[in-house]
A and B are shown apart, each in its own frame.
Chain A
């Protein structure tokens, strides 16, 4: 049988110390900075290239209907919105001032952040899906005049089929997984928040 004082003595005699040196931490600071910069760089490049291709199409290809131009504008809007949202959230979690808050406030922040990400990945994705569908429909007007009727009908059927598959199978499954993941995370955060509550012990 040991008392708490003996346990404390045991604690002070423990051998394992951190096996991370100051230089390792400094190295990781430099590499994580450059990793952040690299990620931003490649995201910016890919967004820029996608937007440039769409703009180039607008300028060089002579589309016969104004609906195609509107479709391209919607696509550019979606790409830019997605990139800006990812960038904002990434910066938010990396440089959060809440990191210096009380644990209970930090847990609240984590919870809000996770819920925001959940909304972005589910509800906003649904809006994004609608926008892309509208863009395809608008582009379909151009295709209607350019393609033989049966080719056009085949294309429309294929696009509708693809959208239905994405929505009913992939999206539903994704939302189900996200629901389970966020549910577990929120439960854990709630449980820990309860542990830090003032009223629990007093």
Chain B
């Protein structure tokens, strides 16, 4: 039991930040992202004995995080992008710096992508290796590369057009 707790703590420390980024990119607000991250790690704890070493722990945790994000739709409707932007900006300190505003703009741009694109791009931005992303998303690496190319282009365009406004 103690070993399991130690392993769980190690997994939490190594993966929580990236799981949080994934949830934040998916939902567009930090409160929901924190909730989904907690939910993900609760499921990780509950399923720890089912891990079979068929993949890396990080891939396995990402898979749980993605499915947890997908089930988020069951309970919450998608919010309008403007609303998302407001909540993102509110989550920063009282006087947001230019950099913080740019990051808020980036999350706003990610929120304008389709759900699977949000999941894939947050992993790309966190520099998760392509084979791992392909395994998490359940698609072939070739297909993933095509998708990533298109999503990068789409995100850059959305980000720049939002910045111009």
Contact = CB atoms under 8 A, between A and B. Distances in A.
Given A95-B46, A196-B137, A106 B103 contact: no
Interface in A1-39: 1-4, 7-8, 10-11, 13-20, 22, 24-26, 28-29, 32
Contact of B116 (A10, A15, A99, A195): A195
A188 interface: yes
B111 interface: no
B41 A3 contact: no
B47 interface: yes
B91 interface: yes
Nearest to A18: B20
Given A7-B155, A25-B38, A28-B42, A185 B139 contact: no
B65 to A, nearest CB: 10
Contacts of B20: 17-18
Given A17-B17, A28-B38, A100 B74 contact: no
A104 interface: yes
Contact of B67 (A4, A8, A17, A101): A101
A114 interface: yes
A92 interface: no
Contact of B159 (A7, A99, A101, A103): A7
Interface of B: 5, 9, 12-13, 16-17, 19-20, 24, 30, 33-34, 37-38, 41-43, 45-47, 50, 60, 63-64, 66-68, 70-71, 73-74, 77-78, 91-92, 99-100, 102-103, 106, 114-117, 119, 125-126, 137-140, 142-143, 146-147, 150, 152-153, 155-156, 159-160, 163
A147 interface: no
Q: Choose among B45, B47, B102, B139 the residue with the greatest number of A CB atoms under 10 Å from its CB.
A: B139
Interface string A60-103: 00000000000000000000000000000000000101111111
B122 to A, nearest CB: 9
Contact of B115 (A4, A25, A184, A195): A195
Contact of B66 (A18, A20, A29, A103): A103
Given A11-B106, A22-B12, A192-B116, A198 B156 contact: no
B17 A14 contact: no
B7 to A, nearest CB: 12
Contacts of A103: 63, 66-67, 70, 116, 119, 137-138
A32 B35 CA distance: 13
A105 interface: yes
Given A3-B156, A192-B115, A198-B140, A100 B34 contact: no
Given A18-B34, A20-B34, A201-B150, A97 B50 contact: yes
